[in-house]
Structure 1
Amino acid sequence: MTTDLLPPEKLGPEIQLEVQRLLGRCMVRIQQYEKSLKVLLAHHELAGPAETLEVQQTLRAQKLSNQTLGQLAGLLFETFVVPEGFERELLPEDKTPTDRISFAHSFRITQAPEQWEQTKAAIQELVSLRNELVHHFLYRFDLWDEQGCINAMAYLQEAFQRIDTHYQELRAWLMTLHQGRVALASFVQSDAYLNLLINGINPDGSFEWRDTGIVRALREEVQALASDDGVPLKTLQAQMHARHPTQTPQKYRCSSWQQVLTESCEFDLTYRRDSQTGPKTAWVRLRPPSPPRSGTKERKRPGRGAVTPPTDPAPEPA
């Protein structure tokens, strides 16, 4: 190692001050990385009853404030940077209250397994570099010797480049998170979101019957009106028109209430006569849930697929 890296004024006692400056630069960048990582981990996912979300985020940030860089890196690869196929249940049914509105959102970066392992190993290397600088730097370099200072400076310049590369990568992740949050905020204020929240209809027009507003309303009215024999369909229709006027079969691409009741697979629709000569009338009751059978594949839930936009007719040949 030569002194060519140093300007002439650094060859004297000030060389130690230059080492300190370069070491401080590395430590500041590492602290910037840790601070940014805590922000990302505090905001990239949230779940629970709506009224608790703000408090949850504050408590999460407080908990993360005492975590080491190694602990933060572990959380990063458990919840944010994840391998393809990763699934995480944010609102488990056995722990989610049914008497309040709950909400969950999650932003993640998904990588192929090999890339995920490489990214994880690179961040673990950053943690090791940080520990080396904090705990072992003075044992590695003799700062009372000019050559030791020169070696330390070269090491710190290379270390800063490695640290800064990770910091810029993290900034890109934070920018992606910010853009996702902005897009989510815009969607939450849209008609498409209200249609999803109230009616259970996805932006592409698809839905699962059990999550739709019309099935929820039907279930509520059947439970309130039905006797042991069920409830007459005409009575149920009148109650729906009175209490849920916006929930109509046409909203869900059906032509009749009978079609909704049949397709949803949530109700039993039967026809019976009040007398031997009287006309048949339709009766509705809730269908009891079928117990899952072990060893069988879960059946696809009934619903409707996406709405296919009409295609423009091909122009006639000239």
Structure 2
Amino acid sequence: MTNLADNDLLTLQHEVQQLLGRCLLRLQHYELLIKAIVAHHRLSGPINDMERSRSGRVGATARKTLGALVGDLLGSYVVAGEIEPPEASQISLPEGVNSFVMQMSLNLSSEDFARVERDLRDMVRLRNNLVHHFIEQHNLRSLDGCRCAQDALISANNRIDQNLNQLREWAGTMEEMHRVLSLILQSEEFKTEFTNRATSKTKVGFDTSGIVCALRKAYCALAVDGWAPVAEAGRWVAERYPEEKPAKYGCQSWREVVHKAPTLEIRYLELRGHRTPCYRECDITLEWR
């Protein structure tokens, strides 16, 4: 009986070790994704030395703890309400040197922001608990202690996976924003702004049109869980800004308007049993001085 009990304990201990290892590996993946988002959502510096500025930001981010990264993420990439323009004044350059300031942000409702902040803070506590305190909290020399540890690790792994999926979605959004930014930088309007050394925010055609600005206001009024139905937003705009119609901009529908706007993201969600086109805004702010 003693040998059987010892074998059962060794088996459970081995399973706990595997589960703990999986959690720690997933946490490292989670941390790397946050570092990538923090490092690449903002960029500033002299226009002729942007690669050095980018490399410096990546290097500085690589040395930060998960708690510090979460602090950088909140209010910078993940924001609630209106997005403040980046502060060009933070760049100290000699007179006559062209500088570039870029910031990408994910705009959430106040409720969603509070939920995301809570989830991010919980992940920091979960990581620190697994790394520093797990053995203190679980008696791995007993069968019951190992079973309790298993349950805790399975729960932790599920939470890590949920939050990791959220980060992957944000990273995908950022990748799309980088694609849009690349198109902006190659546009004739951007080149004109650069040539003229404009001091105002770059205006990039359709995305600053009246109808897209109205859709942004509709989003703030209608968004639930970070998304607003396109059709409902169209009705909202039509009631308040009747002059802003899709046909005025060469579009056949509100869905086409959203699709054409570089900083509006469209996605089909299941609402009340129907596949419904919804959208959210992902702002890119550019500033020259």
Q: TM-score, normalised by structure 2?
A: 0.64
Q: Following the alignment from structure 1 to structure 2, what is the Cα–Cα distance between the partners of residues 93 and 13? A: 58
Equivalent residues of 1:49, 1:97 under 8 A apart: no
Please state how far the C-alpha of 1:13 moved relative to its aligned partner. 1.7
Aligned to 2:283: none
Which amino acid in structure 2 is aligned with residue 167 of structure 1? L
Relative distance call for 1:53 and 1:311 in structure 2 (3 A) is closer
Partner of 2:88: 91
For the 8 Å contact 1:196–1:203, the answer to whether it is kept is no
Are 1:105 and 2:102 an aligned pair? yes
SS in structure 2 of the partner of residue 130 of structure 1 = helix
Structure 1 residues 299-314: aligned runs within 5 Å: none
Count of residue pairs the alignment pairs up: 204
Distance 1:206 1:11 in 2: 64
Map 1:275-290 → 2, pairs under 5 A: none
Distance 1:16 1:310 in 2: 68
Q: 1:169 aligns with which of 162, 166, 170?
A: 166
More helix by share: 2
**Structure 1 stretches lacking a partner, 5+ long:** 1-9, 208-307, 313-318
**CA distance, structure 1, for counterparts of residue 170 and residue 15 of structure 2:** 33
3-state SS of paired residue (1:108): strand
Q: Among residues 36, 39, 57, which one is paired with 1:39 in the alignment?
A: 36
Would the aligned equivalents of 1:141 and 1:149 in 2 still touch at CA under 8 Å?
yes
CA deviation map 1:43-89 (0-9, x unaligned): 11101211232111111111112211111110111311112124143
Say whether 1:23 aligns with 2:20.
Answer: yes
Q: Distance in 1 between matches of 2:130 and 2:85?
A: 36
Separation of aligned partners in 1, 2:27 and 2:105: 23
Following superposition, the deviation at residue 115 of structure 1 comes to: 2.0
Amino acid at match of 1:132: N
Query: Contact between 2:16 and 2:150, CA under 8 Å: does it hold in 1?
Result: yes
Which of 122, 139, 142 does residue 142 from structure 1 map onto? 139
Structure 2 distance, partners of 1:96, 1:39, is 27
Indicate the percent of aligned positions where both proteins have the same amino acid: 30
- How far apart are 1:11 and its partner, in Å? 3.5
Paired letter, 2:24: M
- Deviation of 1:91 (Å): 0.8
Distance 1:311 1:41 in 2: 36
Q: CA RMSD in A?
A: 2.8
How far apart, in 1, do the equivalents of 2:249 and 2:161 lie?
50
Instruction: Return the offset for 1:96.
Output: 5.0
What's the TM-score, normalizing by structure 1?
Answer: 0.58
- Aligned residue for 2:88, secondary structure, equals coil
CA contact (8 A) 1:107 1:180 kept: yes
CA distance 1:84–1:136, change in 2 (3 Å): same
AA of the residue aligned to 2:107: T
Aligned residue in 2 for 1:76: 73
| 1:215-249 Cα shifts (integer Å, max 9, x gaps) | xxxxxxxxxxxxxxxxxxxxxxxxxxxxxxxxxxx
- Does 1:14 find its partner at 2:15? no
